[in-house]
Chains A and B, each alone.
Chain A
Amino acid sequence: MIQYIHNKRQPIINGIESGVELMGLRTFKGGVHPYDGKELSKDKPIRELIPQGDMVFPLSQHIGAPATSCVSVGDSVLRGQKIADAGGFVSAPIYSSVSGTVKAIEPRRVATGDMVNSIIIENDGKFIETGFERCDDYTSLSNDEIIKKIQNAGIVGMGGAGFPTHVKLSPNNPEKIEFIIANCAECEPYLTSDYRSMVEEPEKLITGMKIILQLFPKAKGLLGIEDNKKDVIDAMQKLVANEPRIEVVPLLTKYPQGGERQLIKACTDREINSKMLPADAGCIVDNVATINAIYTAIVEGKPVMDRIFTLTGDAIKDPCNYRICIGTNCNEILEQAGGFAKDPVKIISGGPMMGFSVMDTDLPTTKTSGALLCLTIDEVSKYETTACINCGRCVEACPENLIPSRLSKFSDHGEKDEFEKWYGLECIECGSCSFACPARKPLAQAIKTMKKQILADKRKK
């Protein structure tokens, strides 16, 4: 099968790799090279997708307190109208992406499998907007004004984590921030939404970056881009030629290059652990979609209502990138995209390395949904798990310098102390160990389970 050709390990290269640079490209130690599948959708321009059906807005689509609904059933809403207030400082408001009537407020299933209280809006198909206030001269805004606007726009980490961006941009010591890193790695296989937006609207990213840099006068902006996007590297380099504070950092294509700690290591050679924030290393990391949302919020005055979404996989008739209204049902996206070419066996919300496999496609899209990946083969159930032979491929693959095979054993045996002693809590759950394991053991799953238990224990204390 073609898709396995790229799976080969690169033993010699891994041996020489110093951990920071290889052949002029910055990187980190460890990682894997899964089949990237990006050719399915990378050359498909972003299409607008106009939703017709009901929209679902889960009140918890970010890290932190859930938002609290500020509309009631029967209210009519406009596109761009706030429908839920932030539930605290670490939280974010939610805006309607369509005009229509609030139909219900009830629990709905989301991609992670949880039932989350959601606002359901009957879409009238007219897309009547509330007014948006443009602001082309963002340099006249004060730092507080910018942060306030970002907070009010409901911007969260749109790469998948969903951490409220205004919190990230308000570190304890703003003068100690030396680097603003734009995460343009898009290291997850199959995903091309960040790539397409960098190809089609690069000025949004650059302007967004300049807005963030305005908040941190001593900081330098770095665009970390994997070298499988050479065209973007070249284009961005031209665009920042006259921007003394922004620099393009070409990165080696390797998963998980876009992991926050790995990206900081590659771009600045600084290391942080699970107990630190990027700000402790003088860095703030934001993903492409998030920086674009900052541009949209500040310059166009629009809150988070849309995002770029990749519908891809070998089961999809016409893999493509879409600009979707957040809240659109995945079924509707599938329908408008022409549906399946073959019966899918596994459907993943997000990328194949860290995404969530879903039970069905009756799911709302949220601020953090970047892709729906539909595959005709499930490699996890295809292979049988065999005995660990201690080969050490998981150790080589682990970007956190852990011993996954041992951690997974501690997890199976419930040995919490040993698990912590072997640095199990440092795991970033990237899945590289499970990917590399020739015994096909679900190492990452075991480690994640144990991590969750230990962290829950700690919270109880």
Chain B
Amino acid sequence: MSNLLKVSSSPHVKASEDTSRIMLYVIIALLPTTFFGIYNFGSRALLLVAVCIITCVLSEFLFEKAVGKKNTIKDLSAVVTGLLLALNLPHTLPVWQAVLGSVFAIVVVKMLFGGLGQNFMNPALGGRVFLLISFAATMTHFEYDGVASATPLAMVKADASVNTLDMLIGRTGGTIGETSALCILIGAIILILLGVIDLTIPGTYILSFSIFILLFSGRGFDIDNLVAHLCGGGLMLGAFFMATDYVTSPITPLGKVIYGICLGVLTGIFRVFGNSAEGVSYAIIFSNLLVPLIEKVTVPRAFGVVKAKKPKEVKANE
């Protein structure tokens, strides 16, 4: 025994899963909807996906180089941000705008706050909303089969009829990754089976949103309308892939439920009473800001700790 032994505090073993593995799982789960988006919208969609991913990774790399921080691009989180941002863009968006959005997402929303784990809002959504405010025209211009068209959600808002089957499969206009509810659900199942997310946040989100729509959309108990709302816009993508972002969602079990309900109600308010047809991005970003407060009031009671224990102690002393 010539070598010195290593000494550390227990435990001395670690699970194999690390951060980059989790990010890889998310990327894998996003592939179905990414491929469908590329199939649906053509090479332009592929170009935007590539541009966003490359820009995000490069911005993280260059930022860390510039400020002398340790290089963290290997954790794959920038790839996830880039991919998610691209999936939230219309395929007709000018490339320079996509680059700008990616840089904003990584540098401003993520890195300036301290990098992975420190950002208070989802970087991809931050980037998307930044673009939505800056370039409203190109960000809300949707084409399908080369023809400019309203998104199904806008049609729902205008009380026009929509084909819910097309919406489920994804043969409609919209951003690259949001149109196919089916592909997103496949991805969601992958995430759940791999243990990356559980159903608490998406479940409460979708449930509370459904109840809100049934109560307040003015259409009564209209299942078609509800399905259109669920499959339309960014709801599915938002619920399973962005609302569940670890960093920007509560860590407490009860907090997750409250967060999900906040998301559902806010999305409902924005969609039913707001000016625009869409509301998922704003709902998630707004709820992200509530997370510290939600966590503060939902600290779970520790195992075996009972609230009303005072009277018992008195008895024991007697």
Q: Cα distance A400–B302 when bound, in Å?
A: 6
Q: Which of chain A's residues have a CB closer than 8 A to the CB of B305?
A: 273, 423, 426
Q: Cα distance A102–B11 when bound, in Å?
A: 37
Which segment, of A59-67, A296-304, A345-353, faces chain B?
A345-353
Q: Which of B9, B199, B246, B306 contacts A389 (CB 8 A)?
A: B246
B14–A435 touching, CB < 8 Å: yes
B303–A273 touching, CB < 8 Å: yes
Q: Which of chain B's residues have a CB closer than 8 A to the CB of A435?
A: 11, 13-15
Q: Could you tell me how many residues of chain A have their Cβ less than 8 Å away from some Cβ of chain B?
A: 77
Q: Cα distance A7–B306 when bound, in Å?
A: 33
Contact with A along B1-20 (1 / 0, CB 8 A): 11101111111111111110
Distance to closest chain B CB from A270 (angstroms): 9
Which segment, of B95-103, B113-121, B136-144, faces chain A?
B113-121
Closest B residue to A422 by CB, please name it: B299
Q: Which of A352, A439, A440 contacts B12 (CB 8 A)?
A: A352
Q: Cα distance A448–B8 when bound, in Å?
A: 13
Closest B residue to A5 by CB, please name it: B16
Q: Could you tell me how many residues of chain B have their Cβ less than 8 Å away from some Cβ of chain A?
A: 49
A239 at the interface (CB under 8 A from B): no
B6–A345 touching, CB < 8 Å: yes
Contact with B along A431-451 (1 / 0, CB 8 A): 110111111101011001000
Q: Which of chain B's residues have a CB closer than 8 A to the CB of A271?
A: 303-304, 306
Q: Which of chain A's residues have a CB closer than 8 A to the CB of B13?
A: 34-35, 189, 352-353, 379, 435
Distance to closest chain A CB from B300 (angstroms): 5
Q: Which of B2, B19, B251 contacts A439 (CB 8 A)?
A: B19
A354–B11 touching, CB < 8 Å: yes
Given A345-B6, A378-B8, A435-B15, residue A403 in contact with residue B300 (CB < 8 A) = yes
A402 at the interface (CB under 8 A from B): yes
B10–A431 touching, CB < 8 Å: yes
Q: Which of A9, A380, A388 contacts B8 (CB 8 A)?
A: A380
A87 at the interface (CB under 8 A from B): no
A431–B11 touching, CB < 8 Å: yes
Q: Which of A261, A265, A421, A436 contacts B15 (CB 8 A)?
A: A436
B195 at the interface (CB under 8 A from A): yes
A360–B8 touching, CB < 8 Å: no
A391 at the interface (CB under 8 A from B): yes
Q: Cα distance A89–B185 when bound, in Å?
A: 64
Q: Which of chain A's residues have a CB closer than 8 A to the CB of B72?
A: 386-387
The A/B interface has a contact count, at CB < 8 Å, of: 188
B5–A358 touching, CB < 8 Å: yes
B19–A386 touching, CB < 8 Å: yes
- CB contacts under 8 Å to A, within B1-57, are 1-3, 5-19, 21-22
Q: Which of chain B's residues have a CB closer than 8 A to the CB of A423?
A: 299, 301-302, 305
B62 at the interface (CB under 8 A from A): no
Distance to closest chain B CB from A160 (angstroms): 11
Q: Cα distance A375–B302 when bound, in Å?
A: 34
A383–B7 touching, CB < 8 Å: no
A402–B9 touching, CB < 8 Å: no
B8–A11 touching, CB < 8 Å: no
Q: Cα distance A421–B16 when bound, in Å?
A: 32
A346–B6 touching, CB < 8 Å: yes
A340 at the interface (CB under 8 A from B): yes
A357 at the interface (CB under 8 A from B): yes
Q: Cα distance A198–B302 when bound, in Å?
A: 34
A401–B8 touching, CB < 8 Å: no
B193 at the interface (CB under 8 A from A): yes
A340–B1 touching, CB < 8 Å: yes
B193–A355 touching, CB < 8 Å: no
Given A343-B3, A344-B1, A435-B14, residue A403 in contact with residue B304 (CB < 8 A) = no
Q: Cα distance A8–B196 when bound, in Å?
A: 12
B8–A357 touching, CB < 8 Å: yes
Determine which residue in B7, B75, B192, B299 has the highest number of CB atoms from chain A within 10 A of its CB, and name it.
B7
Determine which residue in B3, B6, B77, B117 has the highest number of CB atoms from chain A within 10 A of its CB, and name it.
B6
Determine which residue in B249, B252, B303 has the highest number of CB atoms from chain A within 10 A of its CB, and name it.
B303
B198–A11 touching, CB < 8 Å: yes
Q: Cα distance A440–B299 when bound, in Å?
A: 24
A241 at the interface (CB under 8 A from B): no
Contact with B along A175-200 (1 / 0, CB 8 A): 00000000000000100000000000
Distance to closest chain B CB from A156 (angstroms): 21
B247 at the interface (CB under 8 A from A): yes
Determine which residue in B9, B115, B195, B300 has the highest number of CB atoms from chain A within 10 A of its CB, and name it.
B9
A307 at the interface (CB under 8 A from B): no
Closest B residue to A383 by CB, please name it: B14
B22–A438 touching, CB < 8 Å: yes
B274 at the interface (CB under 8 A from A): no
Q: Cα distance A15–B248 when bound, in Å?
A: 22
A388–B117 touching, CB < 8 Å: yes
Given A11-B198, A343-B3, A389-B117, residue A32 in contact with residue B15 (CB < 8 A) = yes
A254 at the interface (CB under 8 A from B): no
Q: Which of A11, A380, A390 contacts B193 (CB 8 A)?
A: A11
Q: Which of chain A's residues have a CB closer than 8 A to the CB of B21?
A: 438
B220 at the interface (CB under 8 A from A): no
A395 at the interface (CB under 8 A from B): yes
B198–A359 touching, CB < 8 Å: no
B94 at the interface (CB under 8 A from A): no
Given A343-B1, A438-B19, residue A387 in contact with residue B303 (CB < 8 A) = no
Given A15-B198, A381-B6, A388-B117, residue A353 in contact with residue B11 (CB < 8 A) = yes
Given A378-B12, A390-B246, A435-B15, residue A9 in contact with residue B303 (CB < 8 A) = no
A390–B117 touching, CB < 8 Å: yes
Q: A271-B304, A359-B5 are in contact. List 11 more A-B contacts (CB 8 A).
A: A11-B193, A15-B199, A345-B5, A380-B14, A381-B6, A386-B116, A387-B115, A405-B251, A437-B15, A439-B18, A442-B8
Sampled A-B contacts (13; CB under 8 Å):
A12-B193, A261-B304, A271-B303, A273-B304, A353-B11, A357-B12, A359-B7, A360-B5, A386-B18, A392-B251, A403-B252, A422-B299, A438-B18
**Could you tell me which B residues sit within 8 Å of A by CB distance?**
1-3, 5-19, 21-22, 72, 75, 77, 115-118, 192-195, 198-199, 246-249, 251-253, 295, 299-306
5 closest residue pairs by CB, A with B: A11-B195, A431-B11, A423-B302, A273-B304, A387-B117
